Amino acid sequence: MDFTLGLFLAVLLSGLIWLVDIVFLRRRRDKETRESLIVEYARSFFPVLLVVFLIRSFLFEPFQIPSGSMIPTLRVGDFVLVNKFQWGLRLPLIHTPLTRGSPVEAGDIMVFRYPKNPRIDYIKRVIGLPGDTIEVKGNDLYINGKLVPQKFIGNFNYRPEGQGAEGMVIPTKEYAQELGGHHFHIIEFDTPEAQMDFGPYKVPPHSYFMMGDDRDNSNDSRFWGVVPERNIVGKAMFVWFSWDAEDWSIRWKQIGRSLDGQH
């Protein structure tokens, strides 16, 4: 079940139990009779659940990185904080806009509901805004007919997730790119088989073209299309915790990493 829905139902149930006790049951109890355990739990948990629900729905929401599609920026096991109010307030569950926030910009890392299955959250980088024309030729990215420059940083030791430190290393190169004032790094496989051509494709109104920073190993808009504006959840701001499940260790250098602005 969707976590937000479960949290909403918990708030509703605990609040309802507490309200029924206040309106109907409390006046019938004598002073020496204790309230039931269910009422006691509802009274204790309702304020906490309500605060958590409001914060997650309108302000900030934690998100765990489930795949390596955003390597080298984000790793599997990173926990990021998503700013929801900057994008604009939405009613929880039904996602109806209440306010207009800051517009999505090229280069932003956004969490969104996967268009093919809105119950699943994805995280990618915004590459194309409404009206932009996107084209990929091999490892070259073009936006509106202009090549997005990339600076070679060095070789990157890429190992597929789940193979640990002894896994096979795939020849990969790391590059620096800039979009919309965001400076970030991407990786690309150094093999012709991994490269692909895409487009040209014009981004329709109220939609965004998303790509992963692991350009040749990302299930993104090149394969399933653009993200409608209504599917946007919020903007990833920074990494607040990072756990390497393969080594059972904390990635201290990753914690506190800003995802808003310069690399």
Dihedrals phi, psi of 194, to nearest 5 degrees: -80, -20
| DSSP annotation string for 207-245 | EEEEE-SBTTS--SHHHH-PEEGGGEEEEEEEEEEEEET
Closest CA to 230 of 60, 114, 126, 107: 114
CA 133, CA 199: separation in Å to the nearest integer?
Answer: 8
173 is catalytic: no
Q: Helix, strand or coil for residue 185?
A: strand
Distance CA 117, CA 112 (A): 11
Residue type, 234: G
**Rounded to 5 degrees, what are φ and ψ at 190?**
-90, 45
Catalytic, out of 14, 57, 69, 221: 69
SS3 133: strand
Task: Examine the residue annotation and report whether 137 is marked as an active-site residue of this protein.
Answer: no
Catalytic residue among 57, 84, 124, 221: 124
Q: What is the DSSP string of 43-92?
A: HHHHHHHHHHHHHHHHTEEEEE--SSTTTTTS-TTEEEEEE-TTT--B-T
| Token pair in block for residue 187 | 């990786």
Question: Which active-site residues does the annotation give?
Answer: 69, 124
